[in-house]
Structure 1
């Protein structure tokens, strides 16, 4: 059984002559102490360092009663607590949670895990909340259903954003209203952050809930809207490939990495960024897809054959991207700007680097008539409906090779036909 008492120690006398009142928790033959906000001088204490000041004594007694009541309510669950855990439980149970501070620490953890894209998305949510509330400290209790409905309205309007640039100057930009997909993705990421906070601060096993409310029970995310076309025809792929660009420019980078991604079954930018010579073995690229490797038991491993057209591009960029760009976020920015230049040169509209992945999948299914299951395998996706089947069936990379070869043959034939017309 834990005991809770107030203690004042003679040897803890401060330089200003005051003593701090501490709460002593004695549990499992160990003592832990919680500092209080009460500091007393000698005349407020008895010779045996007991509290003589009635006002302070009453305040301390109320705190002791509250802590003892909390311990009693734990019942049999108290056995699961160490003295340190019990101290933290009592100390934190009524403490407010700064959601922005949590978001920042979570973003840093996500970056350390190598999930730059997710960290960047969550950083946008954090900054947007600061813009909305116009302050950098936001209680978790302020993230409620009423706020979410109002916040959605805010995102649907034109918004002013203030940011500090690299020179330390404040830059004000006006952001246009978010569209249907933008709203969905933004609120989805906010829900993810809120769920992460609940997982971090709540202990379901001990029925300890610092975050007791769940605003997303009342506020429901809208269905994912149908996306507009985000893939190219094979003729447009060749148009991008043959676009004339300045050597070493962002346009050249975007063009060549788009083609490299297309030839490697839609390899993501972050995986190209992280790819080293160690990932190359027996003419194949072997890697774990960054986006999903922590969500899957197979760590999202895939093996892709290096086709002839991809080899010079791999040689040019492997182990080079991390030297050229300090983070994958910087690479993404360069690719975005480079693809905009490509669009201007080719007359294409809205094409991004990620279209290479959609293009590969669409051509594999619609032009090459490969099965959806085989396309999913080549794209390193998991079909939720057949996940149990995957437990029994070993992966056969020859299937991936077949899907890849069909698309590459289409690419080659279109290139040959294009050359014949000149």
Structure 2
């Protein structure tokens, strides 16, 4: 009996990375480009190394420059470095247990994510917010960034450096500076948002995310009551202002209450173009949600009261002089401060249980409808909320008639 050696079948490699002299293409100087060839699952992808060589100086059997090749050492160094980059990326895919295609591998190595520091990402996000005209939100990011720089001396660190110990140190530093609980919570929520952006944009791996353990939710106090009863609303609406600013403050409060709790920023930027078929139609600046609510009789009276043929705006907050977004933001901030000061004085005179502000009109609108039995989802839609994610999924299905009917409960 003759024992025969079993010949093992040759296993075709799942993937292969090598460098070729791409002879099919000849450049004007007679040289051929050197390319990385990635083979995986029968698919091939080529990527130029940015260098070329004459065929006579290339060993096609060994896929390397010949001994007599000019600049041989430099070319070999480039080949070794580039091949190493591909091997390291393949190893990273294996460690993460992620599959990949030849194209994905080439794209990943050819277009690597530039390492960004926390400062870099803050600057980028602030620019994005400014570009999208969310100036107050941009200012909040700038404030948090400055706070972090004071704490850490600089932000030339990577997100992977922000761990539980670092966050606790920042929290203790904020407390030592006597910041209020909700202010501390706001700082951390902003930082958490930035960390999530960094993960989404592949700047840091999700495994470094510290906020699964460090709970930001513990850093918030229950918000003080911001609504008043319906009878107190009537006291405010019937208040006779003694100055022009007091009258404006009462009118803006009234308009907000009867216009689905529109906030001051959106109210300031309303123009005649937002009035369609006896309705107010606008896109909420904060959430970009389309708001479409009926004009109540008192709201119509106020629009008529402040109508100005020389101004496109419904109320005397902005004018044609305010052209840039920064000018508009500054003006709105200045006016709302004066309006709220007047409202607080009026609230004290009326013995209201809370400080009266324009935001109270928004909260009260929602509270009055809720106490009248209106569905929370309908209220959320009319307010243009985005934080109530569960209800927002199906809010767009409600018809205007449901909000119209709901708003009849305001008085």
TM-score relative to the length of structure 2: 0.68
Q: 2:303 aligns with which of 314, 320, 327?
A: 314
Q: Map of 1:12-411 to 2, 5 A cutoff?
A: 26=36, 28-31=45-48, 48-51=70-73, 63-64=81-82, 66-73=84-91, 74=93, 77-81=100-104, 85-89=108-112, 92=113, 96-158=115-177, 176-179=178-181, 181-201=182-202, 212-223=207-218, 225-234=221-230, 236-238=232-234, 240-241=236-237, 242=239, 244=241, 246-247=243-244, 249=245, 253-293=248-288, 300-314=289-303, 316=306, 317-318=313-314, 321-323=317-319, 326-328=327-329, 330-347=331-348, 350-366=355-371, 368-381=372-385, 394-407=397-410, 410=411
RMSD (Å) for aligned C-alpha atoms: 3.7
Secondary structure of 2:147's match?
A: helix
How far apart, in 2, do the equivalents of 1:124 and 1:3 lie?
Answer: 50
How far apart, in 1, do the equivalents of 2:121 and 2:384 lie?
Answer: 32
Deviations 1:64-99 (A, max 9, x none): 56424224435762523385652222xx4xx64211
8 Å CA contact 1:265, 1:360 repeated in 2: yes
Secondary structure of 1:232's match?
A: coil
Secondary structure of 2:282's match?
A: strand
8 Å CA contact 1:4, 1:67 repeated in 2: no
Could you say if the C-alpha distance between residues 123 and 4 of structure 1 is closer, same or farther in structure 2, counting changes exceeding 3 Å?
Answer: farther
Q: CA deviation at 1:231?
A: 1.3
How far apart, in 2, do the equivalents of 1:4 and 1:307 lie?
Answer: 74
Could you say if the C-alpha distance between residues 115 and 314 of structure 1 is closer, same or farther in structure 2, counting changes exceeding 3 Å?
Answer: farther
How far apart, in 2, do the equivalents of 1:227 and 1:304 lie?
Answer: 28
Could you say if the C-alpha distance between residues 314 and 148 of structure 1 is closer, same or farther in structure 2, counting changes exceeding 3 Å?
Answer: farther
How far apart, in 2, do the equivalents of 1:301 and 1:133 lie?
Answer: 41
8 Å CA contact 2:226, 2:364 repeated in 1: yes
8 Å CA contact 2:117, 2:155 repeated in 1: no
8 Å CA contact 2:18, 2:83 repeated in 1: no
8 Å CA contact 2:126, 2:138 repeated in 1: yes
How far apart, in 2, do the equivalents of 1:48 and 1:303 lie?
Answer: 73
Secondary structure of 2:273's match?
A: helix
Could you say if the C-alpha distance between residues 253 and 103 of structure 1 is closer, same or farther in structure 2, counting changes exceeding 3 Å?
Answer: farther
Secondary structure of 2:208's match?
A: coil
8 Å CA contact 2:293, 2:404 repeated in 1: yes
Q: Which moved more, 1:329-338 or 1:282-291?
A: 329-338
Equivalent residue number for residue 16 of structure 1: none
8 Å CA contact 2:377, 2:395 repeated in 1: no
Deviations 1:30-83 (A, max 9, x none): 42569xxxxxxxxxxx9933558xxxx99x798556424224435762523385
How far apart, in 1, do the equivalents of 2:284 and 2:111 lie?
Answer: 38
Secondary structure of 1:153's match?
A: helix
Q: CA deviation at 1:284?
A: 0.2
| Paired positions, count | 336
> Which blocks of at least 5 consecutive residues in structure 1 are unaligned?
6-23, 35-45, 159-175, 203-208, 294-299, 411-422
How far apart, in 2, do the equivalents of 1:354 and 1:314 lie?
Answer: 20
Q: CA deviation at 1:301?
A: 2.7
Could you say if the C-alpha distance between residues 329 and 390 of structure 1 is closer, same or farther in structure 2, counting changes exceeding 3 Å?
Answer: same
Deviations 1:253-283 (A, max 9, x none): 5443222211101012232244332221110
Secondary structure of 2:111's match?
A: helix
Equivalent residue number for residue 296 of structure 1: none
How far apart, in 2, do the equivalents of 1:252 and 1:184 lie?
Answer: 36
